[in-house]
Amino acid sequence: MTLQEMLDQAATGTVHVQEGWGQGRATYGGLVAGLMHSALRARLPTPAPLRSITVNFVGPVTPGDAAADVQILRSGKSATQGLVTLRQGESVVAAALAAFGAPRESAIRVSSSMAMPQLPEPMTIDPLPYISGATPDFFQHVEMRLADGGVPYSDTTTSHMTGWMRFREAPPTFDERHFVSLADSWPPAVIQMLATPAPGSSMTWTLELVDEVAAEPDTHWAYAVHTDHAAEGYAHTDARIWHPDGRLVAISRQTVSVFG
């Protein structure tokens, strides 16, 4: 089953999570978020752009059937907020709270204070490889080209990364559902500081969309992440994502648990 088929199926409230999207013992978090977003978007009383989604990864999502329970918390003239929980069997494995809002007139406009970094052209950088049994399974679906920072478990002193990302196989179209599914693809920025592999995973992830993300399916998106703080087995990271034309389109924040 392709990514597109899973996203379309999730909109019905039930979905079969396909094998091959693993990240350790769990399914890749971006896919989990994308499925929940698709389920929630399908239930909106009035279509509106996604403004923010916060995902809590409660337990490992495994390949197999899952059910998305959607609750519209409030729907006003321009904004709608909803909650979706993803269940496998009797267990809640993930939950997401999202806000959608139609554009409205406003006298306030503040440009982003963080410009898109100067990056080499995407095709001049080799993508992080997919190596069966050595890298996460979902690397076979997502292409990341690292421009600055270290690869996981390289014992570096840096805790930032910049680069480009896109799907290895472009979907038929590219909209919010695909962007949410892609945006979480980069490894936690701090695991490059480890010398040997150790478990690590996102606990919470908040993605805020600030501009249009519908694009050509094979678009390379620029990414930059830095670590605000890390101690006692937890790291807090802050990232930005840009369209290649230089527009800031998203802000991504994570709390990550690291066992190492």
Give the pLDDT confidence score for residue 200 in this predicted structure.
82
Averaged pLDDT score across all residues of the chain: 96
Cβ atoms of residues 234 and 258 within 8 Å: yes
Structural tokens at position 92: 């809640």
Cβ atoms of residues 81 and 53 within 8 Å: no
Cβ-count burial of 133 within 10 angstroms (0-12 exposed, 13-18 middle, 19+ buried)? exposed
Residue 214 has pLDDT above 90, yes or no: yes
List beta partners, residue 22: 27
pLDDT in tens, 10-34: 999 999 999 999 998 899 999 999 9
Structural tokens at position 118: 């100067």
Chain-centroid distance of CA 260 in Å reads: 23
Record: fold of 3-102+119-252: Porin (2.40.160)
Distance (Å, whole) CA 170 – CA 6: 15
Cβ atoms of residues 136 and 28 within 8 Å: yes
Going from N- to C-terminal start, the domains of the chain cover: 3-102+119-252
How many C-beta atoms surround the C-beta of residue 73 within 10 A? Answer: 11
Could you tell me the pLDDT band of residue 113, with boundaries at 50, 70 and 90? confident
Q: Mean pLDDT over residues 59-71, rounded? A: 97
pLDDT in tens, 117-133: 999 999 999 999 999 98
The candidate with the shortest Cα–Cα distance to 81, out of 57, 55, 42, 52, is 52
Q: Mean pLDDT over residues 136-152, rounded? A: 97
The candidate with the shortest Cα–Cα distance to 33, out of 12, 17, 49, is 17
